[in-house]
Chain A
Amino acid sequence: MSVVPIRREAPAKVALERWEARRRWARAGIVYVVMLLFSLLFLGPLLFAALSSLKNDPLEYPPRIAIPQLSPANWAAAARLGRAGAHAPLWGGFGPGADVPFELTYFVPDGTEPAPPAVTVPRRRPGGELAAAQNIEYAADHAAVVPPTEIGRRAGTRSVRGKAVPGVFVSYRLRVRYRGDGPTVDRLPIDVQAPSRRQAFVGSTLPPTRLERLGLVASYDNIAPGVLGYVFTNYRRVFQQARSVTTGRSLFLSWTASSFVIAIAKVLSTLLFASMAGYALARLRFPGRNLIFVLVLFAQMIPVQVIFISNYLVLKGGIFGLSRLWGQATLLNSLSGVVLSGLVGAGAVFIMKQFFETIPREIEEAAMIDGTNQWQRYWRVVLPMARPALGALTILTFQGAWNDFFWPLVVLTTPEDIKTLPIGLLTFRNVYGATGDWGLILSGAVMSALPIIVLFVVFQRYFLEGVSYGGTKE
Chain B
Amino acid sequence: MGVRRREFAAAYLFLAPFLLTLGIFFLFATARAVYFSFTNYDLFNAPTWVGLRNYDELFRDDMFLTALRNSLVFAAVVTTVQTFGALVMASVLNQRIRGLGFFRAAFYMPSVTSSVVITLIFLWMYQRRGLFNYLTTQFLANLPLLAVFLLAVVALQAGQVLYERARRLPARWTDPALLVVSLLLAAGITWGLVFSGIVSPRDVRPVEFVWLQTRQEVPAVFPGFLRAPVPLVAIMLQNVFTTIPTFMLMFLAALQDVPAAHYEAAALDGATPVQQFFYITIPAVQPVTFLVVTLGLIGTLQMFDQVAIFGNAVPLKSVITLAYFIYNRMFPGAQLPEVGFASAAAMFLAALTLVIVLLQRLFIRSEGTR
Most buried by A among B92, B120, B180, B305: B120
A61 to B133, CA, bound (A): 10
Q: Which residues of A sit under 8 angstroms from B105, Cβ to Cβ?
A: 456-457, 460
Of A20-28, A200-208, A227-235, the stretch lying at the interface with chain B is: A20-28
Rounded to whole Å, the gap between the CB of B110 and the closest CB of chain A is: 5
A86 to B282, CA, bound (A): 66
Q: Which residues of A sit under 8 angstroms from B17, Cβ to Cβ?
A: 269, 272-273, 276-277, 343-344
> Does B131 have its Cβ within 8 Å of any Cβ on chain A?
yes
> Which residue in chain A gives the minimum CB-CB distance to B172?
A23
- Give the A-B pair count, Cβ closer than 8 A: 300
Rounded to whole Å, the gap between the CB of A381 and the closest CB of chain B is: 14
> Which residue in chain A gives the minimum CB-CB distance to B129?
A61
A267 to B2, CA, bound (A): 36
Chain A contact residues: over half helix, strand or loop, or mixed?
A: helix
> Which residue in chain B gives the minimum CB-CB distance to A36?
B103
A471 and B117 within 8 A (CB):
no
> Does B234 have its Cβ within 8 Å of any Cβ on chain A?
no
> Does A325 have its Cβ within 8 Å of any Cβ on chain B?
no
B107 and A425 within 8 A (CB):
no
Rounded to whole Å, the gap between the CB of B149 and the closest CB of chain A is: 15
- 8 Å CB interface, A1-15 against B: 1, 4-11, 15
Give per-residue flags for B334-359: 1 if the beta carbon is below 8 A from chain A beta carbons, else 0: 00000100110011011001100000
Give per-residue flags for B12-33: 1 if the beta carbon is below 8 A from chain A beta carbons, else 0: 1011011101101111111011
A35 and B350 within 8 A (CB):
no
Q: Which residues of A sit under 8 angstroms from B309, Cβ to Cβ?
A: 426, 429
Give per-residue flags for B295-334: 1 if the beta carbon is below 8 A from chain A beta carbons, else 0: 1001000101100110111000000001100110011000
- 8 Å CB interface, A422-443 against B: 422, 425-426, 429-430, 433, 438, 441-442
A452 to B114, CA, bound (A): 9
Of A40-48, A156-164, A169-177, A215-223, the stretch lying at the interface with chain B is: A40-48
> Which residue in chain B gives the minimum CB-CB distance to A307?
B29
> Does A326 have its Cβ within 8 Å of any Cβ on chain B?
no
> Does A63 have its Cβ within 8 Å of any Cβ on chain B?
yes
B36 and A309 within 8 A (CB):
yes
Rounded to whole Å, the gap between the CB of B133 and the closest CB of chain A is: 9
A281 to B12, CA, bound (A): 10
A470 and B25 within 8 A (CB):
no
Rounded to whole Å, the gap between the CB of B117 and the closest CB of chain A is: 5
Rounded to whole Å, the gap between the CB of A410 and the closest CB of chain B is: 8
B302 and A304 within 8 A (CB):
yes
Q: Which residues of B sit under 8 angstroms from A295, Cβ to Cβ?
A: 22, 26-27
A474 and B311 within 8 A (CB):
no
> Does A371 have its Cβ within 8 Å of any Cβ on chain B?
no
With an 8 Å Cβ cutoff, the count of chain B residues facing the other chain is: 106
> Does B177 have its Cβ within 8 Å of any Cβ on chain A?
yes
**Within the complex, which residue of A22, A46, A48, A314 is in contact with B177, where a contact is CB–CB below 8 Å?**
A22
B109 and A43 within 8 A (CB):
yes
Rounded to whole Å, the gap between the CB of A456 and the closest CB of chain B is: 5
Rounded to whole Å, the gap between the CB of A463 and the closest CB of chain B is: 7
> Which residue in chain B gives the minimum CB-CB distance to A6?
B168
B7 and A303 within 8 A (CB):
no
Of A68-76, A136-144, A241-249, A286-294, the stretch lying at the interface with chain B is: A286-294
A39 and B107 within 8 A (CB):
yes
10 closest Cβ contacts across the A-B interface? A403-B114, A310-B29, A277-B18, A307-B29, A280-B14, A26-B177, A26-B176, A39-B106, A310-B32, A286-B11
Besides A7-B166, A276-B15, A308-B29, 14 new A-B residue pairs in contact (Cβ under 8 A), listed by A number:
A32-B99, A38-B103, A59-B130, A274-B18, A277-B14, A280-B12, A292-B19, A298-B26, A299-B27, A302-B26, A307-B26, A309-B343, A405-B304, A467-B249
